A and B are shown apart, each in its own frame.
Chain A
């Protein structure tokens, strides 16, 4: 099962996976959900939740290095034992069986409500699951290679839209600070701490695939990648605020709306297609990574020889879930922006911090016993 170093990912590929994972679908969805609660101070919420994300990433990387680059499941086995690991990974699997269909349902709903209103949602969902399953089955190397290109395209298109919308910006919309006190800001931070920043704890299933067996060549570039994703998201939030002001929260797909108001020289107009391309690419990548993580957890838990056995079954179950879980768009919003952040912070975060603390103590014990 042990992979050779050559068959693993290099730093650039890993950073791109991370950017894809963090900005993937959120770049279109996040501005609206935060601005809805935090209004003009959304950027502060983003900063708070981003700092939380950095702490999570720090823990993930610490555990990665402390355990020679094995995955979450493997080090939790060595830290808390086999039985407890099964017990702890159950919520992780359930979370992923929520988030994976959630990402795909989000894009399916976007497409059927905005672009192609007459096409039923299952068409989009099933096709995206199909290519996601193909991609994950091709292996992590192919996936990473592909995502390096796709992340580049996605970021370039997003920045292009944000740049072209410059004539529509009004910095005054960023005022006032704290119009409703600190609580809405914290609420916004809570949402974005769950989606997308806190989700990074699941990346502990992906880090084993980077070269170096725990002695990762460049830990710094992981933080850099995370910082880059954070800045892009922050930029997107700020740009939307400057363009739409208080109305940002009411526009469902803010970046899409932003693209639709762009008009340059009477000819460059209605460039929403660019945002749609970025959105589909981003969500596709995020779905792939979720599927990959879920598959890895199952494979590691069950000790399967063939890593690809479960990809199709998982995709099929998730497809069914994506079609049945959210009866209305309102329900989707509620579940993704209320329940999901809670789960991510209090279950995902808790598991990770617990493992980190145990690992820290064990290591201290080991060093002190070595000394004594």
Chain B
């Protein structure tokens, strides 16, 4: 940043002539009515002119008089009969004299303008080619609340908000070590979004960090509105349905990801924390797994795995079995199915497709509508899908059960992105099952497996721990071992290794 500033043309420099600075600033903020200009004078005969610039909508404490405190600070070190002059103020501030507030000095018009837009108040003294800027930003942000996206029954409830500094503070409060490194870059010429990435030194693989840094390069030129822009920028495969990074709105999640050696990305004005890289198996864990007892956590994880398969395969399995391999269904069950399908005008494939599509419609409509109307949609939808479709003999009751089970199972996946991936993959599988039955399903599975094995996240194999298989990590995948085994490995293993070497 600093070399950019030195390369700017000289006409952006502040001059000694105060009125010239004022015109220049006013030209920069032409038609910006939220920028306030105030002119003052001081001295025995009111001979020194001063003007201040600030953004009225960003500054919190409008009544605080920064000019008078500046003058007071400078005059304290004067002898009794000396006069306060702009030269002396310049001299005082250049030598970092004691001031009642931290300040920034700038000798450039554009830099001062940038500072004003960040919430600084800038003071220009006639006869001194610098501006003094005080940080006075105070804008209302959403309070720290319980995160809506990731509720827990037990465990800490605080979630992130849209302020980068608040979020960083909450993470720093949990990870009290200088090894937690925070690096900030600014992206975009209009938005100037601050992007911070955090990692725990010694826990993060240095190669991973290098890869991350090389990928995030070049994002400075783009306008970044949220963390997902960064995700898109650094992800390995944008066309894969599977998410390669996951988000969290909980700082405890973020802290545990740091311990695992992940890199966190936070952007200003976005509550989402990006955890990269995220492996396939990471999408089946939640922070709550570590707040409940081992047995329960393990069983819940197995249940989630079951839900994953149900959500992925149940409709296509039904299509394949009922259309191509009815002999594989136990006789009594087969009779029930045949009985319920009596009078349905569509083959099972179209029936399933129609029901799944209408379920997706309902789900999407329910999300987008305002909350009071949303519940009405789900009631009407449930009635239409559930009751009326069966009475009208458009869908069989078994099909409704299957669609409902699939839907509920996909809600049991803790990460929304992964649930979306399942929704995307489910339909091709249904088509494969509709065309080629069980064989089509097998081919579909092999293709998905091949895709997942090929996929990388930040240069690491996406299926790590499963393929390439690492049995050591299995203690925290499908089940969760007691914490005393986990805290050594796999969580924080690298850190431990270094510690052991050091000792």
Task: List residues of A whose CB falls within 8 A of some B CB.
Answer: 10, 12-13, 111, 115-116, 119, 123-124, 127-128, 131, 134-135, 138, 142, 145-146, 148-150, 267, 269-270, 272-273, 276-277, 280-281, 284
Would B453 and A145 count as touching, CB distance under 8 A?
yes
Select which of A148, A150, A280 is within 8 A of B439 by beta carbon: A280
Q: Which residues of A contact B421 (CB under 8 A)?
A: none
Q: Which residues of B contact A115 (CB under 8 A)?
A: 324-325, 437-439
Binary interface encoding of chain B residues 418-455 relative to chain A, with 1 for a CB under 8 A from any of its CBs, else 0 = 00000000000000000011110011001101100110
Q: Could you tell me the distance between the alpha carbons of A131 and B447 in the complex, rounded to whole angstroms?
A: 7
Consensus secondary structure, chain A interface? helix
Would B436 and A146 count as touching, CB distance under 8 A?
no
- Of the listed stretches B301-309, B462-470, B487-495, chain A binds B462-470
Given contacts A115-B438, A267-B330, contact A145 B468 (CB under 8 A): yes
Select which of B437, B438, B442, B450 is within 8 A of A146 by beta carbon: B450
Would B468 and A149 count as touching, CB distance under 8 A?
no
- Distance to closest chain B CB from A139 (angstroms): 9
Interface assignment of B183: CB less than 8 Å from any CB of chain A: no
Q: Which residue of A lies closest to B455 (CB)?
A: A142
Q: Which residues of A contact B44 (CB under 8 A)?
A: none
Q: Could you tell me the distance between the alpha carbons of A281 and B446 in the complex, rounded to whole angstroms?
A: 8
Q: Could you tell me the distance between the alpha carbons of A267 and B330 in the complex, rounded to whole angstroms?
A: 7
Interface assignment of B328: CB less than 8 Å from any CB of chain A: yes
Interface assignment of B461: CB less than 8 Å from any CB of chain A: yes
Q: Could you tell me the distance between the alpha carbons of A270 and B325 in the complex, rounded to whole angstroms?
A: 11
- Distance to closest chain B CB from A339 (angstroms): 28
Q: Which residues of B contact A280 (CB under 8 A)?
A: 439, 442
Q: Which residues of A contact B466 (CB under 8 A)?
A: 149
- Distance to closest chain A CB from B440 (angstroms): 8
Would B450 and A138 count as touching, CB distance under 8 A?
yes
Q: Could you tell me the distance between the alpha carbons of A124 and B442 in the complex, rounded to whole angstroms?
A: 11
Nearest 7 CB-CB pairings of A with B = A145-B467, A146-B453, A280-B442, A142-B453, A148-B469, A138-B454, A145-B468
Select which of A10, A119, A127, A145 is within 8 A of B463 by beta carbon: A145
Q: Which residues of A contact B324 (CB under 8 A)?
A: 115-116
Would B449 and A149 count as touching, CB distance under 8 A?
yes
Q: Could you tell me the distance between the alpha carbons of A272 and B438 in the complex, rounded to whole angstroms?
A: 12
Q: Could you tell me the distance between the alpha carbons of A273 and B453 in the complex, rounded to whole angstroms?
A: 25
In addition to A127-B439, A267-B330, A276-B442, 9 A-B residue pairs with Cβ atoms within 8 Å of each other are A115-B325, A116-B324, A127-B436, A138-B454, A146-B450, A270-B327, A270-B328, A280-B442, A284-B446
- Distance to closest chain B CB from A257 (angstroms): 14
Would B454 and A142 count as touching, CB distance under 8 A?
yes
Q: Which residue of B lies closest to A123 (CB)?
A: B436
Q: Could you tell me the distance between the alpha carbons of A5 and B230 in the complex, rounded to whole angstroms?
A: 34
- Distance to closest chain A CB from B288 (angstroms): 28
- Distance to closest chain B CB from A105 (angstroms): 15
Would A138 and B453 count as touching, CB distance under 8 A?
yes
Q: Which residues of A contact B328 (CB under 8 A)?
A: 270, 272-273
Would B439 and A12 count as touching, CB distance under 8 A?
no
Q: Which residues of B contact A270 (CB under 8 A)?
A: 327-328, 330
- Distance to closest chain A CB from B30 (angstroms): 58
Q: Could you tell me the distance between the alpha carbons of A138 and B454 in the complex, rounded to whole angstroms?
A: 7
Q: Could you tell me the distance between the alpha carbons of A109 and B42 in the complex, rounded to whole angstroms?
A: 99
Would A12 and B330 count as touching, CB distance under 8 A?
no
Q: Which residues of A contact B468 (CB under 8 A)?
A: 10, 13, 145, 148
Q: Could you tell me the distance between the alpha carbons of A115 and B461 in the complex, rounded to whole angstroms?
A: 36
Select which of A149, A276, A284 is within 8 A of B469 by beta carbon: A149
Given contacts A13-B468, A146-B467, A280-B442, contact A131 B450 (CB under 8 A): yes
Q: Which residue of B lies closest to A139 (CB)?
A: B454
Given contacts A148-B468, A277-B442, contact A119 B436 (CB under 8 A): yes
- Distance to closest chain B CB from A51 (angstroms): 31
Given contacts A142-B453, A145-B467, A280-B439, contact A131 B446 (CB under 8 A): yes
- Distance to closest chain B CB from A291 (angstroms): 14
Q: Could you tell me the distance between the alpha carbons of A123 and B467 in the complex, rounded to whole angstroms?
A: 29
Would A116 and B469 count as touching, CB distance under 8 A?
no
Binary interface encoding of chain B residues 460-499 relative to chain A, with 1 for a CB under 8 A from any of its CBs, else 0 = 0101001111000000000000000000000000000000
Q: Which residues of B contact A269 (CB under 8 A)?
A: 330
- Distance to closest chain B CB from A15 (angstroms): 12
Q: Could you tell me the distance between the alpha carbons of A130 and B436 in the complex, rounded to whole angstroms?
A: 15
Q: Could you tell me the distance between the alpha carbons of A131 and B453 in the complex, rounded to whole angstroms?
A: 13
Q: Could you tell me the distance between the alpha carbons of A280 and B438 in the complex, rounded to whole angstroms?
A: 11
Would A273 and B438 count as touching, CB distance under 8 A?
yes
Q: Could you tell me the distance between the alpha carbons of A124 and B466 in the complex, rounded to whole angstroms?
A: 28
Would A135 and B450 count as touching, CB distance under 8 A?
yes
Would A124 and B467 count as touching, CB distance under 8 A?
no
Would B327 and A146 count as touching, CB distance under 8 A?
no
Interface centre among B327, B437, B439 (most CB of A within 10 A): B439
Q: Which residue of B lies closest to A9 (CB)?
A: B468
Would A134 and B330 count as touching, CB distance under 8 A?
no
Q: Which residues of A contact B442 (CB under 8 A)?
A: 276-277, 280-281
- Distance to closest chain B CB from A319 (angstroms): 15
- Distance to closest chain B CB from A153 (angstroms): 10
Within 8 A of A (CB), among B35-66: none
Q: Which residue of A lies closest to B446 (CB)?
A: A131
Q: List 24 A–B pairs whose Cβ atoms lie within 8 Å, in order of A's numbering.
A: A115-B437, A116-B437, A123-B436, A124-B439, A127-B443, A128-B443, A131-B443, A131-B446, A131-B447, A131-B450, A138-B450, A138-B453, A138-B454, A145-B453, A145-B461, A146-B453, A148-B468, A149-B466, A149-B467, A149-B469, A273-B325, A276-B442, A280-B439, A280-B442
Q: Which residue of B lies closest to A10 (CB)?
A: B468
- Distance to closest chain A CB from B51 (angstroms): 64
- Distance to closest chain B CB from A132 (angstroms): 9
Q: Which residues of B contact A111 (CB under 8 A)?
A: 439
Q: Could you tell me the distance between the alpha carbons of A273 and B320 in the complex, rounded to whole angstroms?
A: 12
Q: Which residues of A contact B454 (CB under 8 A)?
A: 138, 142
Would A12 and B469 count as touching, CB distance under 8 A?
yes
Q: Could you tell me the distance between the alpha carbons of A269 and B450 in the complex, rounded to whole angstroms?
A: 31
Q: Which residues of A contact B461 (CB under 8 A)?
A: 145
Q: Which residue of B lies closest to A267 (CB)?
A: B330
Would A148 and B467 count as touching, CB distance under 8 A?
yes
Q: Which residues of A contact B463 (CB under 8 A)?
A: 145
Q: Which residue of A lies closest to B437 (CB)?
A: A116
Q: Could you tell me the distance between the alpha carbons of A145 and B468 in the complex, rounded to whole angstroms?
A: 5
Q: Which residues of A contact B450 (CB under 8 A)?
A: 131, 134-135, 138, 142, 146
Q: Which residues of B contact A134 (CB under 8 A)?
A: 447, 450
Q: Which residues of A contact B436 (CB under 8 A)?
A: 116, 119, 123, 127
Q: Which residues of B contact A146 (CB under 8 A)?
A: 449-450, 453, 467
Q: Could you tell me the distance between the alpha carbons of A131 and B449 in the complex, rounded to whole angstroms?
A: 11
Q: Which residue of A lies closest to B453 (CB)?
A: A146
- Distance to closest chain A CB from B206 (angstroms): 15
Q: Could you tell me the distance between the alpha carbons of A134 and B454 in the complex, rounded to whole angstroms?
A: 10
Q: Which residue of A lies closest to B320 (CB)?
A: A273
